Chains A and B, each alone.
Chain A
Amino acid sequence: MGTRLFRCILTAAAVLAAVPVFGQGRGGYKPPEGPAPKLDGKPDFSGIWQRPYTPDMSITATNLDGKPYPPEKPGPAGRGQVDPNPPAANGRGGGRGGPRVLPFTEWGLKQWKEYDPVNGDYTGACLPFGLVRSMNSPDPTQIMQSKEYMSILFEQNTWFKVFPLDGRPHDPNKTPTWFGDSVGHWEGDTLVVDTTNFNGRTRLDTNGHPHSDQLHIIERWQRPDLGHIKYEMIVDDPKAYTEKWKNERTFTLRTDWQIMEYSCEENNKSLWEGRIKIPNYDSWK
């Protein structure tokens, strides 16, 4: 690549990194104020939620004590060494400073280094996003909660997830799935959702951070006020990572949005014309 073009790409990257990260929709929206609604004495998470698009979970990743990981590429003037920011209350993404090096095991590092979506891109091929990438996606979700269940309706590819809130144990006889097996329980006003039994066929984020079929996700949901959800995702995968790590995010209530149908399959020219390939999952082992 010519030096001039390479420098332009670096400049573009600098401009891009400096652009505040927006969620979807026009600027100027403010969520309603007030206390969080309750259902049977517990926070009710129902609503249509804007989430920060998270194509690279390492940017805002910290260990469980809140310490960020080393930057992949320390930049000039301290860029790359800035502590990651949690998303702002209006749902804007945060995490300036670029990607960071997660605490990979040897297997995890090999999976990370060898990942090349040119060889297979499952989300591009309309295969299920799975839980983590569905939570990372830029599209809104609608949560519908009852006393017994929470259902998350993902506009992303029109998928959904429903799970019980009664703290029951996981069913070991269930077949491993793309979204895993989730069970929720309450710890005070925090909903803790525990998910296991993933089929190992997804990646944690667009950039391809790996996980194994031993992935165990712990999510902690809080609704501090009417307009916001405080969300924490803990990644526990001893095959891929040497320690648990987490992302913290804020979701914003969008009273002006409706969930729309999203058929990934209806016109996936990129797949039909061969620019996107389905992964060879045997090579992921």
Chain B
Amino acid sequence: MRIALGILCAGFGLAISTLPLMAHHSFAAEFDASKRVTLTGTVTKLEWLNPHIWIYIDAKDESGKVSKWQCEGGAPNSLVRNGWTRESLKAGDQVTIMGSLAKDATNTCNASQVRLPDGRRVFAASSEGEGGSKGGEKQ
């Protein structure tokens, strides 16, 4: 399964800035910000639970091969305050997820952008950058 590595400089910055970063624990403990993925496919499940929502997706690569992925999103309470609900994404929806790969070599990512086919972003939240050189997003 091929992973598309999206490296768009300005877009990359914007992607990071929309990252639902109320993470309040270390991003770098779990994810590698330098290893980016773009997954396009069908949502199979949305878990709307603390401490993070999880989006499960059957991602299809250019050859049509499907692989199962799980991607972590923001905290449900923050998302609710930004107008999102557990109905904002449903099983069967087509999405493109851009994110960072987990360090454990599984099909796990931290989603920084979730886009519908018409380009609308889902779960974009007012967010803050993880400042500093340790523990957070590498800057």
Residues of A within 8 A of B131 (CB): 55-56, 59, 95, 98-99, 207
Interface size on A, residues (CB 8 A): 67
Residues of B within 8 A of A11 (CB): 9-10, 12-13
With both chains docked as a complex, state the minimum distance between the C-beta of B45 and any C-beta of chain A, in angstroms.
12
Q: Is the CB of A206 within 8 A of B126?
A: no
Interface residues in A135-183 (C-beta closer than 8 Å to B): 136-139, 155-156
If the complex has contacts A15-B10, A117-B29, are A138 and B139 also in contact, measured as CB distance less than 8 A? no
If the complex has contacts A19-B129, A139-B78, are A275 and B104 also in contact, measured as CB distance less than 8 A? yes
With both chains docked as a complex, state the minimum distance between the C-beta of B30 and any C-beta of chain A, in angstroms.
4
B25 at the interface (CB under 8 A from A): yes
Count class of interface residues, chain B: 35 or more
A residues lining the B interface (CB < 8 Å): 1, 4-5, 7-9, 11-17, 19, 21-27, 53, 55-56, 58-59, 72-73, 93, 95, 98-99, 112, 115, 117-118, 121, 123-124, 126, 129, 133, 136-139, 155-156, 205-208, 257, 260, 262-264, 266-270, 273-277
What are 29 A-B residue pairs whose CB atoms fall within 8 Å in the complex? Answer: A1-B34, A4-B7, A7-B9, A11-B12, A13-B13, A24-B81, A26-B126, A55-B131, A58-B132, A98-B132, A99-B132, A115-B135, A123-B26, A136-B24, A139-B77, A155-B77, A206-B24, A206-B25, A206-B26, A207-B134, A262-B75, A262-B77, A264-B51, A267-B49, A268-B51, A269-B72, A273-B104, A274-B104, A275-B30
